[in-house]
Structure 1
Amino acid sequence: MNTGFFAQPSPPYPRTNYSFAYQWIEEVGSLTALLAHVEALRAAAPAHRYLCTLDDIQQGSYTSGHASQDDRLYLASPPDMDWDDPVQEAAWDLQALQHRARQLRQGPQRWADVCGSLAVSASDLDALLAANRAPDLLLDDVVYIQRLPLAQGDPLIAGQPNGYFSADWDSFQNHAIHQHLAEQHGYQLLAMGAAWMALARVQPPGAVQAQALVEDLRALYATGDEALLAHAGWQALPALLQTQRILVMGYTEDMADRWE
Protein backbone atom coordinates (compact mmCIF):
# COMPACT_ATOMS: atom_id res chain seq x y z
CA MET A 1 0.00 0.00 0.00
CA ASN A 2 1.58 3.27 -1.14
CA THR A 3 0.19 6.47 0.36
CA GLY A 4 0.74 10.18 0.08
CA PHE A 5 -0.89 13.44 1.07
CA PHE A 6 -2.46 16.07 -1.14
CA ALA A 7 -0.89 18.76 1.04
CA GLN A 8 2.57 17.71 -0.09
CA PRO A 9 4.22 19.73 -2.88
CA SER A 10 3.15 18.63 -6.38
CA PRO A 11 1.00 15.60 -5.49
CA PRO A 12 0.84 13.08 -8.35
CA TYR A 13 -2.96 13.18 -8.53
CA PRO A 14 -5.35 16.11 -9.01
CA ARG A 15 -8.08 16.76 -6.44
CA THR A 16 -10.67 17.27 -9.25
CA ASN A 17 -14.09 17.51 -7.55
CA TYR A 18 -12.88 15.95 -4.30
CA SER A 19 -12.38 19.31 -2.59
CA PHE A 20 -11.33 17.85 0.76
CA ALA A 21 -9.01 15.16 -0.61
CA TYR A 22 -6.53 14.45 2.18
CA GLN A 23 -4.68 11.30 1.22
CA TRP A 24 -4.26 9.06 -1.78
CA ILE A 25 -3.58 5.32 -1.66
CA GLU A 26 -2.18 3.09 -4.36
CA GLU A 27 -2.49 -0.71 -4.22
CA VAL A 28 -4.81 -0.67 -1.23
CA GLY A 29 -5.45 -4.37 -1.81
CA SER A 30 -8.85 -4.81 -0.22
CA LEU A 31 -11.79 -2.93 1.22
CA THR A 32 -10.98 -4.56 4.56
CA ALA A 33 -7.50 -3.00 4.44
CA LEU A 34 -9.01 0.35 3.44
CA LEU A 35 -11.45 0.18 6.35
CA ALA A 36 -8.60 -0.60 8.77
CA HIS A 37 -6.65 2.36 7.41
CA VAL A 38 -9.60 4.73 7.82
CA GLU A 39 -10.23 3.46 11.34
CA ALA A 40 -6.59 4.19 12.20
CA LEU A 41 -7.04 7.73 10.87
CA ARG A 42 -10.18 8.16 12.96
CA ALA A 43 -8.44 6.86 16.09
CA ALA A 44 -5.51 9.24 15.59
CA ALA A 45 -7.72 12.27 14.91
CA PRO A 46 -11.25 11.59 16.19
CA ALA A 47 -12.43 15.13 15.45
CA HIS A 48 -12.23 14.43 11.73
CA ARG A 49 -14.50 12.34 9.52
CA TYR A 50 -13.39 10.44 6.44
CA LEU A 51 -14.96 9.34 3.17
CA CYS A 52 -13.25 7.27 0.47
CA THR A 53 -13.73 6.93 -3.25
CA LEU A 54 -14.88 3.70 -4.85
CA ASP A 55 -15.03 2.13 -8.32
CA ASP A 56 -14.16 4.59 -11.13
CA ILE A 57 -12.51 7.59 -9.47
CA GLN A 58 -12.68 9.87 -12.52
CA GLN A 59 -16.29 9.02 -13.35
CA GLY A 60 -17.14 9.48 -9.67
CA SER A 61 -15.62 12.96 -9.77
CA TYR A 62 -17.58 13.82 -12.91
CA THR A 63 -20.95 12.65 -11.60
CA SER A 64 -20.32 14.14 -8.15
CA GLY A 65 -19.55 17.49 -9.72
CA HIS A 66 -22.85 17.43 -11.56
CA ALA A 67 -24.78 16.07 -8.57
CA SER A 68 -23.52 19.07 -6.58
CA GLN A 69 -25.29 21.30 -9.09
CA ASP A 70 -28.67 19.96 -7.97
CA ASP A 71 -30.80 23.02 -7.15
CA ARG A 72 -31.35 21.62 -3.67
CA LEU A 73 -27.60 21.36 -3.00
CA TYR A 74 -26.05 24.16 -5.01
CA LEU A 75 -24.83 27.33 -3.35
CA ALA A 76 -23.83 30.15 -5.69
CA SER A 77 -20.39 31.62 -5.09
CA PRO A 78 -20.00 35.36 -4.33
CA PRO A 79 -19.72 37.50 -7.47
CA ASP A 80 -16.36 38.88 -6.32
CA MET A 81 -14.88 35.45 -5.61
CA ASP A 82 -11.17 35.24 -6.48
CA TRP A 83 -10.61 31.66 -7.61
CA ASP A 84 -6.86 32.25 -7.74
CA ASP A 85 -6.77 32.87 -3.99
CA PRO A 86 -6.42 29.49 -2.21
CA VAL A 87 -7.62 30.95 1.09
CA GLN A 88 -10.84 32.23 -0.46
CA GLU A 89 -11.35 28.97 -2.33
CA ALA A 90 -10.88 26.88 0.82
CA ALA A 91 -13.35 29.07 2.71
CA TRP A 92 -15.83 28.73 -0.11
CA ASP A 93 -15.43 24.92 -0.25
CA LEU A 94 -16.26 24.78 3.46
CA GLN A 95 -19.37 26.96 3.04
CA ALA A 96 -20.58 24.81 0.15
CA LEU A 97 -19.98 21.60 2.13
CA GLN A 98 -21.89 22.90 5.13
CA HIS A 99 -24.74 24.06 2.89
CA ARG A 100 -25.05 20.60 1.29
CA ALA A 101 -25.03 18.97 4.72
CA ARG A 102 -27.86 21.24 5.93
CA GLN A 103 -29.90 20.62 2.81
CA LEU A 104 -29.48 16.86 3.04
CA ARG A 105 -30.43 16.84 6.73
CA GLN A 106 -33.63 18.69 5.88
CA GLY A 107 -34.28 16.73 2.69
CA PRO A 108 -37.72 15.28 1.99
CA GLN A 109 -36.68 11.72 1.16
CA ARG A 110 -37.69 8.87 3.44
CA TRP A 111 -36.64 5.22 3.35
CA ALA A 112 -40.17 4.12 2.49
CA ASP A 113 -40.24 6.49 -0.46
CA VAL A 114 -36.97 5.12 -1.84
CA CYS A 115 -38.00 1.45 -1.67
CA GLY A 116 -38.83 0.15 -5.14
CA SER A 117 -37.84 3.39 -6.89
CA LEU A 118 -34.80 2.05 -8.78
CA ALA A 119 -35.33 0.04 -11.98
CA VAL A 120 -33.79 -3.34 -11.15
CA SER A 121 -33.58 -6.62 -13.09
CA ALA A 122 -32.74 -10.16 -12.00
CA SER A 123 -29.24 -9.73 -13.44
CA ASP A 124 -28.82 -6.59 -11.33
CA LEU A 125 -29.56 -8.61 -8.20
CA ASP A 126 -27.07 -11.22 -9.39
CA ALA A 127 -24.52 -8.40 -9.64
CA LEU A 128 -25.40 -7.17 -6.13
CA LEU A 129 -24.72 -10.63 -4.74
CA ALA A 130 -21.52 -11.01 -6.78
CA ALA A 131 -20.26 -7.61 -5.61
CA ASN A 132 -20.73 -8.58 -1.97
CA ARG A 133 -18.92 -11.85 -2.61
CA ALA A 134 -15.98 -10.00 -4.16
CA PRO A 135 -16.19 -6.36 -3.02
CA ASP A 136 -12.48 -5.75 -3.56
CA LEU A 137 -13.10 -5.73 -7.32
CA LEU A 138 -14.80 -2.35 -6.83
CA LEU A 139 -11.50 -0.70 -5.86
CA ASP A 140 -9.86 1.54 -8.45
CA ASP A 141 -6.08 1.61 -8.88
CA VAL A 142 -5.99 4.70 -6.67
CA VAL A 143 -8.30 5.56 -3.77
CA TYR A 144 -8.76 9.09 -2.44
CA ILE A 145 -9.63 9.68 1.20
CA GLN A 146 -11.37 12.94 1.99
CA ARG A 147 -11.08 14.43 5.48
CA LEU A 148 -14.35 16.24 5.97
CA PRO A 149 -14.92 19.00 8.56
CA LEU A 150 -18.43 17.79 9.33
CA ALA A 151 -20.19 17.36 12.67
CA GLN A 152 -20.97 13.80 13.73
CA GLY A 153 -24.64 14.24 12.86
CA ASP A 154 -23.95 15.53 9.35
CA PRO A 155 -24.35 13.20 6.35
CA LEU A 156 -20.99 12.16 4.95
CA ILE A 157 -22.40 12.09 1.43
CA ALA A 158 -22.38 15.90 1.61
CA GLY A 159 -18.65 15.62 0.94
CA GLN A 160 -19.18 13.57 -2.20
CA PRO A 161 -22.78 13.88 -3.38
CA ASN A 162 -23.64 11.43 -6.09
CA GLY A 163 -26.60 10.13 -8.01
CA TYR A 164 -26.53 12.39 -11.04
CA PHE A 165 -28.43 10.57 -13.79
CA SER A 166 -32.21 10.72 -13.66
CA ALA A 167 -32.67 6.95 -13.42
CA ASP A 168 -30.29 6.63 -10.45
CA TRP A 169 -30.94 7.22 -6.78
CA ASP A 170 -29.96 10.84 -6.16
CA SER A 171 -27.99 12.23 -3.21
CA PHE A 172 -31.12 12.69 -1.09
CA GLN A 173 -32.29 9.14 -1.74
CA ASN A 174 -28.83 7.78 -1.01
CA HIS A 175 -28.73 9.77 2.22
CA ALA A 176 -32.09 8.27 3.24
CA ILE A 177 -30.62 4.81 2.63
CA HIS A 178 -27.47 5.57 4.63
CA GLN A 179 -29.52 6.97 7.50
CA HIS A 180 -31.81 3.95 7.65
CA LEU A 181 -28.96 1.44 7.50
CA ALA A 182 -27.13 3.32 10.26
CA GLU A 183 -30.14 3.52 12.56
CA GLN A 184 -31.47 0.02 11.97
CA HIS A 185 -28.35 -2.02 11.25
CA GLY A 186 -25.30 -0.11 12.45
CA TYR A 187 -23.72 0.51 9.04
CA GLN A 188 -21.86 3.76 8.33
CA LEU A 189 -20.85 5.10 4.94
CA LEU A 190 -17.24 4.26 4.08
CA ALA A 191 -16.89 4.94 0.35
CA MET A 192 -18.91 6.53 -2.44
CA GLY A 193 -18.31 5.77 -6.10
CA ALA A 194 -19.82 6.50 -9.48
CA ALA A 195 -22.11 3.46 -9.34
CA TRP A 196 -21.46 1.68 -6.04
CA MET A 197 -21.17 2.60 -2.39
CA ALA A 198 -19.66 0.75 0.56
CA LEU A 199 -20.79 0.81 4.17
CA ALA A 200 -19.28 -0.85 7.21
CA ARG A 201 -20.24 -1.81 10.74
CA VAL A 202 -18.14 -2.46 13.85
CA GLN A 203 -18.60 -6.24 13.67
CA PRO A 204 -20.18 -8.58 11.10
CA PRO A 205 -23.90 -8.96 11.76
CA GLY A 206 -25.20 -12.01 13.54
CA ALA A 207 -27.74 -14.34 11.96
CA VAL A 208 -30.83 -12.44 13.10
CA GLN A 209 -29.38 -9.03 12.19
CA ALA A 210 -28.19 -10.27 8.79
CA GLN A 211 -31.63 -11.63 7.98
CA ALA A 212 -33.28 -8.35 9.01
CA LEU A 213 -30.80 -6.44 6.86
CA VAL A 214 -31.53 -8.62 3.83
CA GLU A 215 -35.25 -8.11 4.30
CA ASP A 216 -34.65 -4.37 4.17
CA LEU A 217 -32.46 -4.71 1.08
CA ARG A 218 -35.14 -6.88 -0.50
CA ALA A 219 -37.72 -4.17 0.15
CA LEU A 220 -35.33 -1.50 -1.14
CA TYR A 221 -34.48 -3.16 -4.43
CA ALA A 222 -37.49 -5.37 -5.14
CA THR A 223 -40.66 -3.70 -3.81
CA GLY A 224 -43.38 -3.89 -6.44
CA ASP A 225 -41.91 -6.83 -8.39
CA GLU A 226 -42.92 -10.32 -7.25
CA ALA A 227 -40.23 -12.02 -9.34
CA LEU A 228 -37.48 -9.89 -7.81
CA LEU A 229 -38.87 -10.41 -4.31
CA ALA A 230 -38.57 -14.16 -4.90
CA HIS A 231 -35.04 -13.96 -6.38
CA ALA A 232 -32.86 -16.80 -5.07
CA GLY A 233 -30.04 -14.41 -4.21
CA TRP A 234 -31.89 -13.17 -1.15
CA GLN A 235 -31.55 -16.66 0.37
CA ALA A 236 -27.77 -16.67 -0.05
CA LEU A 237 -27.04 -13.14 1.12
CA PRO A 238 -27.59 -13.45 4.92
CA ALA A 239 -24.90 -16.11 5.36
CA LEU A 240 -22.49 -14.11 3.22
CA LEU A 241 -23.00 -10.89 5.17
CA GLN A 242 -22.31 -12.67 8.45
CA THR A 243 -18.73 -13.22 7.29
CA GLN A 244 -17.81 -9.56 6.71
CA ARG A 245 -18.16 -6.07 8.11
CA ILE A 246 -18.62 -4.42 4.73
CA LEU A 247 -21.77 -4.10 2.64
CA VAL A 248 -21.62 -2.85 -0.96
CA MET A 249 -24.64 -1.52 -2.81
CA GLY A 250 -25.29 -0.31 -6.32
CA TYR A 251 -27.33 2.86 -6.72
CA THR A 252 -27.54 3.25 -10.50
CA GLU A 253 -29.64 1.65 -13.20
CA ASP A 254 -28.10 -1.34 -15.00
CA MET A 255 -26.04 -2.42 -12.00
CA ALA A 256 -25.08 -5.59 -13.85
CA ASP A 257 -23.41 -3.53 -16.58
CA ARG A 258 -21.60 -1.39 -14.00
CA TRP A 259 -20.28 -4.50 -12.24
CA GLU A 260 -18.78 -6.29 -15.23
Structure 2
Amino acid sequence: MRTGTFAPDGQATQEQPFRKGNLACSHEWLEDVASLDEVLARLDVLRAADPAHCYLSTLDDLDQCSYTCGHASQDERLYLEVPEGFDWEDPVQLAAWECDSLRHRAGQLRNPELMQSWEQVCGTLCTIGPDVDALLAANRAPEQLLDDVLYLQRVPVAAQDLAIAGLPNGYFSADWDMFQNHAVIRHLGQAHGYAFFGMGASWLGFARAQPLDAAMARQLAAELRQLYGKGREEVLEHGGWAQLAALLAQRRTLLLGYTESFAETLDLGEGD
Protein backbone atom coordinates (compact mmCIF):
# COMPACT_ATOMS: atom_id res chain seq x y z
CA MET A 1 0.00 0.00 0.00
CA ARG A 2 1.26 3.45 -0.94
CA THR A 3 0.14 6.71 0.65
CA GLY A 4 0.38 10.35 -0.35
CA THR A 5 -0.68 13.64 1.18
CA PHE A 6 -2.55 16.31 -0.79
CA ALA A 7 -1.05 19.67 -1.60
CA PRO A 8 -2.44 22.49 0.60
CA ASP A 9 -4.52 23.86 -2.29
CA GLY A 10 -5.80 20.40 -3.18
CA GLN A 11 -4.62 20.62 -6.79
CA ALA A 12 -2.78 17.93 -8.70
CA THR A 13 0.93 18.32 -9.44
CA GLN A 14 3.55 16.05 -10.93
CA GLU A 15 4.68 15.01 -7.45
CA GLN A 16 1.13 14.88 -6.06
CA PRO A 17 -0.96 13.54 -8.95
CA PHE A 18 -4.39 13.62 -7.28
CA ARG A 19 -6.68 16.57 -6.64
CA LYS A 20 -9.39 16.86 -4.01
CA GLY A 21 -12.20 17.81 -6.37
CA ASN A 22 -15.46 18.09 -4.44
CA LEU A 23 -14.00 16.19 -1.46
CA ALA A 24 -12.68 19.20 0.43
CA CYS A 25 -11.73 17.27 3.58
CA SER A 26 -9.38 14.92 1.73
CA HIS A 27 -6.16 14.54 3.73
CA GLU A 28 -4.26 11.73 2.03
CA TRP A 29 -4.73 9.07 -0.59
CA LEU A 30 -4.04 5.32 -0.65
CA GLU A 31 -2.99 3.26 -3.66
CA ASP A 32 -2.38 -0.46 -4.17
CA VAL A 33 -4.62 -1.44 -1.27
CA ALA A 34 -4.73 -5.22 -0.95
CA SER A 35 -7.35 -5.55 1.76
CA LEU A 36 -9.95 -3.62 3.69
CA ASP A 37 -7.96 -4.38 6.84
CA GLU A 38 -5.16 -2.19 5.45
CA VAL A 39 -7.57 0.72 5.13
CA LEU A 40 -8.89 0.23 8.66
CA ALA A 41 -5.36 0.00 10.04
CA ARG A 42 -4.37 3.25 8.34
CA LEU A 43 -7.47 4.99 9.70
CA ASP A 44 -6.57 3.74 13.19
CA VAL A 45 -3.07 5.21 12.86
CA LEU A 46 -4.44 8.59 11.78
CA ARG A 47 -7.01 8.70 14.59
CA ALA A 48 -4.43 7.76 17.22
CA ALA A 49 -2.09 10.52 16.04
CA ASP A 50 -4.84 13.12 15.68
CA PRO A 51 -7.76 12.47 18.06
CA ALA A 52 -9.13 15.99 17.47
CA HIS A 53 -10.40 14.91 14.04
CA CYS A 54 -12.52 12.09 12.66
CA TYR A 55 -11.30 10.12 9.67
CA LEU A 56 -13.31 8.56 6.87
CA SER A 57 -12.30 6.67 3.71
CA THR A 58 -13.87 6.69 0.29
CA LEU A 59 -14.80 3.23 -0.99
CA ASP A 60 -16.28 2.52 -4.42
CA ASP A 61 -16.10 4.68 -7.57
CA LEU A 62 -14.15 7.73 -6.42
CA ASP A 63 -15.07 9.89 -9.43
CA GLN A 64 -18.80 9.27 -9.09
CA CYS A 65 -18.54 9.75 -5.31
CA SER A 66 -16.95 13.16 -5.83
CA TYR A 67 -19.52 14.14 -8.46
CA THR A 68 -22.56 13.25 -6.38
CA CYS A 69 -20.97 14.72 -3.26
CA GLY A 70 -20.82 18.10 -4.98
CA HIS A 71 -24.49 17.91 -5.88
CA ALA A 72 -25.68 16.43 -2.59
CA SER A 73 -24.15 19.36 -0.71
CA GLN A 74 -26.48 21.66 -2.66
CA ASP A 75 -29.52 20.21 -0.85
CA GLU A 76 -31.41 23.19 0.59
CA ARG A 77 -31.24 21.56 4.03
CA LEU A 78 -27.45 21.45 3.83
CA TYR A 79 -26.33 24.35 1.66
CA LEU A 80 -24.79 27.44 3.23
CA GLU A 81 -25.35 30.58 1.22
CA VAL A 82 -22.24 32.20 -0.20
CA PRO A 83 -21.55 35.65 1.32
CA GLU A 84 -22.06 38.67 -0.88
CA GLY A 85 -18.87 39.67 -2.66
CA PHE A 86 -17.32 36.22 -2.17
CA ASP A 87 -14.20 35.62 -4.28
CA TRP A 88 -13.99 31.98 -5.40
CA GLU A 89 -10.39 32.57 -6.53
CA ASP A 90 -9.27 33.55 -3.03
CA PRO A 91 -8.01 30.38 -1.29
CA VAL A 92 -8.41 31.93 2.17
CA GLN A 93 -12.05 32.83 1.58
CA LEU A 94 -12.74 29.46 -0.02
CA ALA A 95 -11.18 27.52 2.87
CA ALA A 96 -13.18 29.54 5.41
CA TRP A 97 -16.44 29.00 3.52
CA GLU A 98 -15.77 25.24 3.20
CA CYS A 99 -15.16 25.05 6.95
CA ASP A 100 -18.33 27.01 7.70
CA SER A 101 -20.28 24.80 5.29
CA LEU A 102 -19.07 21.65 6.98
CA ARG A 103 -20.04 22.98 10.41
CA HIS A 104 -23.45 23.92 9.01
CA ARG A 105 -24.02 20.42 7.60
CA ALA A 106 -22.95 18.81 10.87
CA GLY A 107 -25.35 21.07 12.76
CA GLN A 108 -28.19 20.20 10.40
CA LEU A 109 -27.60 16.49 11.01
CA ARG A 110 -28.34 17.10 14.70
CA ASN A 111 -31.37 19.32 13.98
CA PRO A 112 -34.35 17.49 15.56
CA GLU A 113 -36.66 18.81 12.85
CA LEU A 114 -34.55 17.15 10.15
CA MET A 115 -33.27 13.98 11.82
CA GLN A 116 -34.81 10.70 10.71
CA SER A 117 -35.07 7.40 12.54
CA TRP A 118 -34.14 3.88 11.45
CA GLU A 119 -37.84 3.04 11.35
CA GLN A 120 -38.51 5.92 8.97
CA VAL A 121 -35.78 4.72 6.61
CA CYS A 122 -36.96 1.08 6.53
CA GLY A 123 -38.46 0.25 3.15
CA THR A 124 -37.58 3.55 1.48
CA LEU A 125 -34.95 2.13 -0.91
CA CYS A 126 -36.40 0.37 -3.97
CA THR A 127 -34.70 -3.01 -3.69
CA ILE A 128 -35.03 -6.40 -5.42
CA GLY A 129 -33.64 -9.87 -4.80
CA PRO A 130 -30.27 -9.26 -6.50
CA ASP A 131 -29.60 -6.47 -4.01
CA VAL A 132 -29.56 -9.08 -1.24
CA ASP A 133 -27.11 -11.10 -3.33
CA ALA A 134 -24.98 -7.95 -3.61
CA LEU A 135 -24.99 -7.46 0.16
CA LEU A 136 -23.75 -11.02 0.58
CA ALA A 137 -21.07 -10.65 -2.08
CA ALA A 138 -19.81 -7.33 -0.74
CA ASN A 139 -19.60 -8.60 2.83
CA ARG A 140 -17.89 -11.83 1.80
CA ALA A 141 -15.21 -9.95 -0.13
CA PRO A 142 -15.31 -6.21 0.63
CA GLU A 143 -12.08 -5.57 -1.26
CA GLN A 144 -13.99 -5.84 -4.53
CA LEU A 145 -15.72 -2.55 -3.69
CA LEU A 146 -12.53 -0.54 -3.28
CA ASP A 147 -11.48 1.80 -6.07
CA ASP A 148 -7.86 1.86 -7.24
CA VAL A 149 -7.34 5.07 -5.26
CA LEU A 150 -8.99 5.89 -1.93
CA TYR A 151 -9.18 9.35 -0.36
CA LEU A 152 -9.02 9.56 3.42
CA GLN A 153 -11.06 12.44 4.81
CA ARG A 154 -9.88 14.45 7.84
CA VAL A 155 -13.09 15.88 9.27
CA PRO A 156 -13.19 18.40 12.16
CA VAL A 157 -16.31 17.09 13.88
CA ALA A 158 -16.90 15.92 17.45
CA ALA A 159 -18.32 12.45 16.74
CA GLN A 160 -17.69 9.78 14.13
CA ASP A 161 -21.32 9.66 13.01
CA LEU A 162 -20.98 13.31 11.96
CA ALA A 163 -18.03 12.53 9.69
CA ILE A 164 -20.55 12.11 6.87
CA ALA A 165 -20.82 15.91 6.92
CA GLY A 166 -17.37 15.95 5.32
CA LEU A 167 -18.46 13.58 2.55
CA PRO A 168 -22.15 14.36 1.90
CA ASN A 169 -23.75 11.96 -0.52
CA GLY A 170 -27.07 10.50 -1.56
CA TYR A 171 -27.92 12.86 -4.40
CA PHE A 172 -30.39 11.06 -6.65
CA SER A 173 -34.02 11.01 -5.58
CA ALA A 174 -34.22 7.20 -5.44
CA ASP A 175 -31.18 6.95 -3.12
CA TRP A 176 -31.00 7.45 0.61
CA ASP A 177 -30.09 11.06 1.22
CA MET A 178 -27.62 12.26 3.85
CA PHE A 179 -30.22 12.38 6.61
CA GLN A 180 -31.37 8.83 5.87
CA ASN A 181 -27.77 7.61 5.73
CA HIS A 182 -27.11 9.36 9.01
CA ALA A 183 -30.07 7.56 10.60
CA VAL A 184 -28.55 4.23 9.51
CA ILE A 185 -25.12 5.28 10.81
CA ARG A 186 -26.53 6.32 14.20
CA HIS A 187 -28.56 3.15 14.66
CA LEU A 188 -25.72 0.79 13.79
CA GLY A 189 -23.44 2.63 16.18
CA GLN A 190 -25.85 2.90 19.09
CA ALA A 191 -27.53 -0.50 18.81
CA HIS A 192 -24.74 -2.69 17.46
CA GLY A 193 -21.40 -0.98 18.11
CA TYR A 194 -20.46 -0.38 14.48
CA ALA A 195 -18.36 2.70 13.74
CA PHE A 196 -18.84 4.43 10.40
CA PHE A 197 -15.54 4.37 8.51
CA GLY A 198 -16.24 4.68 4.79
CA MET A 199 -18.50 6.03 2.08
CA GLY A 200 -18.41 5.55 -1.65
CA ALA A 201 -20.69 6.36 -4.54
CA SER A 202 -23.08 3.52 -3.59
CA TRP A 203 -21.85 1.88 -0.38
CA LEU A 204 -21.39 2.67 3.32
CA GLY A 205 -18.69 0.98 5.43
CA PHE A 206 -18.85 0.08 9.12
CA ALA A 207 -16.52 -1.74 11.51
CA ARG A 208 -16.56 -2.89 15.11
CA ALA A 209 -13.77 -4.17 17.37
CA GLN A 210 -14.91 -7.80 17.10
CA PRO A 211 -17.52 -9.69 15.07
CA LEU A 212 -20.99 -9.94 16.57
CA ASP A 213 -21.87 -13.09 18.48
CA ALA A 214 -24.29 -15.43 16.73
CA ALA A 215 -27.44 -14.15 18.45
CA MET A 216 -26.57 -10.50 17.85
CA ALA A 217 -25.72 -11.28 14.22
CA ARG A 218 -29.12 -12.87 13.67
CA GLN A 219 -30.78 -9.85 15.28
CA LEU A 220 -28.94 -7.41 13.02
CA ALA A 221 -29.68 -9.50 9.92
CA ALA A 222 -33.37 -9.40 10.85
CA GLU A 223 -33.20 -5.61 11.17
CA LEU A 224 -31.42 -5.29 7.82
CA ARG A 225 -34.07 -7.52 6.27
CA GLN A 226 -36.67 -4.93 7.32
CA LEU A 227 -34.45 -2.01 6.33
CA TYR A 228 -34.19 -3.26 2.76
CA GLY A 229 -37.28 -5.42 2.48
CA LYS A 230 -40.16 -3.70 4.26
CA GLY A 231 -43.07 -3.81 1.82
CA ARG A 232 -41.05 -5.88 -0.70
CA GLU A 233 -41.94 -9.56 -0.57
CA GLU A 234 -39.16 -10.66 -2.93
CA VAL A 235 -36.56 -9.16 -0.61
CA LEU A 236 -38.17 -10.29 2.65
CA GLU A 237 -38.38 -13.90 1.45
CA HIS A 238 -34.86 -14.02 0.02
CA GLY A 239 -32.84 -16.88 1.49
CA GLY A 240 -29.71 -14.78 1.84
CA TRP A 241 -30.52 -13.19 5.19
CA ALA A 242 -29.47 -16.28 7.17
CA GLN A 243 -26.22 -16.34 5.19
CA LEU A 244 -25.65 -12.68 6.00
CA ALA A 245 -26.16 -13.40 9.70
CA ALA A 246 -23.49 -16.10 9.49
CA LEU A 247 -21.10 -13.65 7.81
CA LEU A 248 -21.67 -11.01 10.48
CA ALA A 249 -20.63 -13.52 13.13
CA GLN A 250 -17.34 -14.06 11.28
CA ARG A 251 -16.32 -10.56 10.15
CA ARG A 252 -16.04 -7.29 12.05
CA THR A 253 -16.96 -5.19 9.02
CA LEU A 254 -20.32 -4.44 7.44
CA LEU A 255 -20.93 -2.99 3.97
CA LEU A 256 -24.36 -1.59 3.04
CA GLY A 257 -25.61 -0.22 -0.26
CA TYR A 258 -27.49 3.08 -0.16
CA THR A 259 -28.34 3.78 -3.82
CA GLU A 260 -30.97 2.47 -6.19
CA SER A 261 -29.72 -0.67 -7.99
CA PHE A 262 -26.56 -0.85 -5.88
CA ALA A 263 -26.22 -4.48 -7.00
CA GLU A 264 -25.15 -3.16 -10.39
CA THR A 265 -21.91 -1.87 -8.84
CA LEU A 266 -20.77 -5.47 -8.36
CA ASP A 267 -20.06 -8.17 -10.92
CA LEU A 268 -22.25 -10.88 -9.40
CA GLY A 269 -21.15 -14.23 -10.75
CA GLU A 270 -23.11 -17.43 -10.54
CA GLY A 271 -23.25 -18.69 -7.00
CA ASP A 272 -22.74 -15.34 -5.25
Shorter-chain TM-score: what band? over 0.9
Query: Match of 1:30?
Result: 35
**Structure 2 matches for 1:47-126, cutoff 5 A?**
47-106=52-111, 107-126=114-133
Q: Distance in 2 between matches of 1:99 and 1:181?
A: 24
In structure 2, the residue matched to 1:197 is 204
The 8 Å contact of residues 63 and 162 in structure 1, kept in 2 or not, is answered as: yes
Distance 2:5 2:131 in 1: 37
Structure 2 CA distance for aligned equivalents of residues 57 and 213 of structure 1: 29
Q: Distance in 2 between matches of 1:134 and 1:99?
A: 36
Offset, 1:108: 3.3
Contact 2:2 2:31 in 1 (8 A): yes
Q: Which 5+ residue runs of structure 2 have no aligned equivalent? A: 268-272
Q: How does 1:40-51 map to 2 (within 5 A)?
A: 40-51=45-56
Q: CA deviation at 1:204?
A: 1.2
Secondary structure (helix, strand or coil) at the match of 1:214 reads: helix
Q: TM-score, normalised by structure 2?
A: 0.92
Q: CA deviation at 1:84?
A: 2.1
Deviation for aligned residue 1:43? 1.0
Q: Name the aligned partner's letter for residue 73 of structure 1.
A: L
8 Å contact 1:192–1:198 — kept in the other structure? yes
Structure 1: 5+ residue runs without aligned partners? none
State how 1:1-260 maps to structure 2 within 5 Å: 1-7=1-7, 10=13, 11-106=16-111, 107-152=114-159, 155-260=162-267
CA distance in 2, matches of 1:27, 1:170: 31
Q: Shift of residue 7 of structure 1?
A: 3.2
Amino acid at match of 2:18: Y
State the alpha-carbon separation in 1 of the partners of residues 258 and 153 from structure 2: 21
How far 1:238 sits from its partner (Å)?
1.3
Provide the rounded CA distance (Å) in 1 between the counterparts of 2:161 and 2:263: 31
CA contact (8 A) 2:207 2:252 kept: yes
Deviations, residues 217-256 of structure 1 (Å, cap 9, x unaligned): 1110011123321211001111111221110010111122
- Separation (CA, whole Å) in 2 of partners of 1:122 and 1:65: 31
Task: Report the aligned-residue RMSD.
Answer: 1.4
The whole-number CA distance in structure 2 between the counterparts of 1:2 and 1:89 is: 30
Q: Deviations over 1:66-111 (max 9, x none)?
A: 0000010011111222222222211111100000011111123211
The CA deviation at 1:162 is 0.7
* Contact preservation (8 Å) 1:101, 1:154: no
C-alpha separation in 1, matches of 2:233 and 2:94: 51
Q: Specify the SS of the correspondent of 2:4.
A: strand
The residue type paired with residue 7 of structure 1 is A
Give the C-alpha shift of residue 151 in structure 1.
Answer: 1.2
